[in-house]
Every structure is written in structure tokens, then in C-alpha cells.
Structure 1
Amino acid sequence: MDRDDAHLTEETVQREVLLRGRFLHVLRDTVRLPDGGSDTREFVVHPGAVMVVPLLDDGRIVLERQYRHPMGRVMVEFPAGKLDAFEDTWTCGRRELLEETGYTAREWAKAGVLHPVISYSTEFIEIWFARGLVLQERHLDAGEFLEVFSASVDELLAWCRDGTVTDAKTLSAALWLQNWRAGAWDLQWQPNPDGAGAG
């Protein structure tokens, strides 16, 4: 889609830092609207993240159950984690897969990018697929508690439909997974640069 967006674009005229947290920052911008008026926009600055869709050789997928404090409940989701400073997304994906699940992968494919909360956050999440999984030893971060399990793609899609899965990134990955499995969307697979099955 190639369009002129000038009639929709807002211009930032002033910025105020409301919160500088450990890895999240909250800003308030005063903006000039397309009609010349002004308003404020409060939003969260996020470093970005990577989510991995791990594919087992038997066709099942690796998922996690993790308590998410803002939601007050355990959520079903794909492995994911935020980018460290100066870290590229593929390195982040390989690191998170090993740390959270104990798996490494022989092949990787970048699917795309999603912006889960465009109205109040800069967060982006890159979606990577991983296959040729090799189970090693996981290394959870201090204070991280999660349960790793496997499920069929059909089970995941049923959970997306019935509301068991409501996590935005996992719903987006399920769309990619469904279309890739049907042959409608392509993935360009590449070997792990650290060697076969390396973390």
C-alpha cells in the first residue's frame, strides 16, 4: 500500500518523561493534529521482543503456561522475550528458546513483525519459526516460572477459537502457522549459524 499520509500524521511538539522504569519508559507527547489543533499522547516505550514458534518433528508445537501479573492469571503462549541492548532479533530468538524451553533448533525462518498494542506502546515482536529441535537444558531467568508443554496445531487453533488463548502474539503466530501449514504463506528456512542444533 503506497499512499500519502500527510492528512493523517501528527507532529510531536513537546515530550515529557512520566516514568523511567527498569526496561519500560512512559512518555507524554504534545502533538499537533492534522487539522492544526493539539492533543496529548501517553505511551510506553518498549525495547522490542521476539517470539518463537517451535515445531517438533512429529508435527506438534512447543508452548508455555506462564502467570502474567497484569492479567492476574496463567496464559498459554509461545516462547518469547525482550531484546537485550544491541541484540539482533535472531540471536534473541535462539537465546529465549533455549533459556525458556531447553530446545535449540537446526533451522530458523523469520515470519514477520507484529505491533501488539499500537495505541499506547512502541512494542514490536518479531515472529520466528524454529524446527529440527534438539532438547538440551533450559536456563530460566531468576524469578521466572513457567511450564513447557507440547500440543497439536489443531489443539492450538481450537484454544484460539474458544478463548483459552487470548495472548495477541500467540494469536498472530497461530494465523501464520495455519497459513504456512496450508501452503498459503511461505517461510524461508535458514540453518542455525552456530551449527546444527546449537544454541
Structure 2
Amino acid sequence: MSDKIDTQEAGDIAVGDDLGLKEVCVASATLHTGKFLTLKQDIVKLPDGKHAGREYVLHPGAVMMIPLFDDGTVLLERQYRYPVGEVMLEFPAGKLDPQEGAQRCGERELREETGYSARRWDYLTRIHPVISYSTEFIDIFLARDLTAGPAQLDEGEFLETFIVPAGQVIDWVRSGRITDVKTIIGAFWLEKVVSGVWGVGEPPQGDVVWLLGSTTNADEINSDQPRRAMSYGFWVQQPTPTK
């Protein structure tokens, strides 16, 4: 028989109970600024009063679309991903441009990468794929009532699109053929929606655009809450490191 360490039951955990876990930024430095990623190094105050270092990547956020046809098939992409050195199977996705809303980003990326446009857009969920070292979030949309058109790939962008039954995507997830985390989550979410178990939702309130260094929602986002700010698709200027 195994012993259980006393922990809170899930039903006992309420909003605000995380005060004893929160880390507060006391100093911040930029290590590298790239084309759209920024590498940061912060000093944070821990709940016990001690200090620790945190390195992480600022990411503007992204949108993934699940293009669903009337016959129950979906559109996937094959694209070489340099960091992992493999051709990956994925649902279409792309990063947010500055001042761009999530659905508008989805409409643009779907048109550019696949040539399709969708008359019906349903928000499904938001995921944080790399919570240990990046501020990246991905909003997932279901795109329906699709109309074909010419793709408009960016210079230097190479990918292929193809159409398969939605069930095939689940099979590829189960077999390990699909390992991209956003596509895995999207496939299972789609299965729940199509079966009627889950409904569709609304995008997070107050998350309209990505703003670099400022926000229109100042009541909720301030320099004392850098992690919370970035989880809502914004980031705020943090204190300059002390010498």
C-alpha cells in the first residue's frame, strides 16, 4: 500500500491561493533581440524571500486554425522544422503581427499558407506550449465553410497541404506520427466538438491585440505582474537591472 502526502483537494483550490507560489521580477536584462524573439534574463524574488535567475523567451503569440470541411475531412500541412530537423505534420498556424487580433491573424495565415478562406470561425481554446521558458501562447480556432483560392506563401516559406479524414489525424497522434503539441491538442479538441461533447467558446476578454511595451488594459496589467501580463498576450517593460 502506498502512502499519500497531504495535499489540497482539487475542489479546495480557489483563485488567489497561488500567493505562496508567485515569483516577482526585481531586475531584468535583454540578452538577445532577434527578428521576432527576444531572450530575457530576470532576477526574481521567490515566495521565501530568496532570489533566483530566470531565462525565458518573449514571443508575440500565435494562432492555429483547424480547417474543417463539410464532409468531415480536415486540412493539414507538411513543413520542415529546422530546430527538430524533421518534416512535421501540422494544422496551419502563424504568429501574431503587432496590433493584430487573433481571428484576423488566423484569417491571414490560413489564406497565405493554404489559399483557403473561411466564412465561419469558432474559438476553441488557448494553450501555452512551452511554459518553462517562453511567453508563447496559441489561440486555436475552428475554421469552417471553406472556399479555395491561391496560396500566398512568404518568401523562404516552403510547405505542402493535403486533406485527410479527421479520424486519421487522431490515428497519427496515437501512433506518434504527429508529435507537434498544438496539433495534438487541436485534434483531440476537434474530436470533442464534432462529437457534441464540448461546445465552442469566446476568445479571452481584453486580449484584442499584441502590444509591445504598452497595453490598453492597464487596470489588469502592470509592471508588478510580468508573468500575468504576458499570459494575456501582452508584455510590459520591466525594471532595469541594478548594478
C-alpha distance after superposition, 1:63-92 (max 9, x if no partner): 000000000010000000001110001100
Residue of structure 1 equivalent to 2:95: 82
Match of 2:48 in 1: 35
Higher-Rg member (1/2): 2
Maintained 8 Å contact 2:78/2:90 = yes
Structure 1 unpaired stretches of 5+: 190-199
Give me the whole-angstrom Cα distance separating, in 2, the residues matched to 1:5 and 1:58.
46
Secondary structure at 1:96's aligned position in 2?
helix
1:151 pairs, out of 151, 154, 164, with: 164
Counterpart in the other structure of 1:72: 85
- Alpha-carbon RMSD across the aligned residues, in angstroms, is 1.1
1:111-149 residue CA offsets vs partner (Å, 9 max, x unmatched) = 110000000000010001111110011100000000000
Pick the aligned partner of 2:116 from 96, 103, 111: 103
Say if 2:133 is the partner of 1:120. yes
Residue identity matched to 1:100: E
Give the secondary structure class of the aligned counterpart of 1:141.
coil
Q: Specify which of 61, 81, 85 is matched with residue 74 of structure 2.
A: 61
Structure 2 equivalent of residue 2 of structure 1: 15
1:109 to partner: Cα distance: 0.4
SS at 2:84's partner residue?
Answer: coil
Partner of 2:186: 173
Picking from 155, 158, 183, the partner of 2:196 is 183
Q: Which residue of 2 is the match for residue 194 of structure 1?
A: none
Taking structure 1 as the reference length, the TM-score comes to 0.92
Instruction: Tell me which residue corresponds to 1:26.
Output: 39
Equivalent residues, number: 189
Deviation at 1:188, TM superposition (A): 5.5
Structure 1 residue corresponding to 2:65, chosen from 26, 47, 52: 52
Secondary structure in 2 aligned to 1:147? strand
Describe the SS at the equivalent of 1:74: strand
- CA displacement at 1:3 relative to structure 2: 3.7
More strand by share: 1
Gaps of 5+ in 2: 1-13, 203-243
| 1:2 positional shift | 2.2
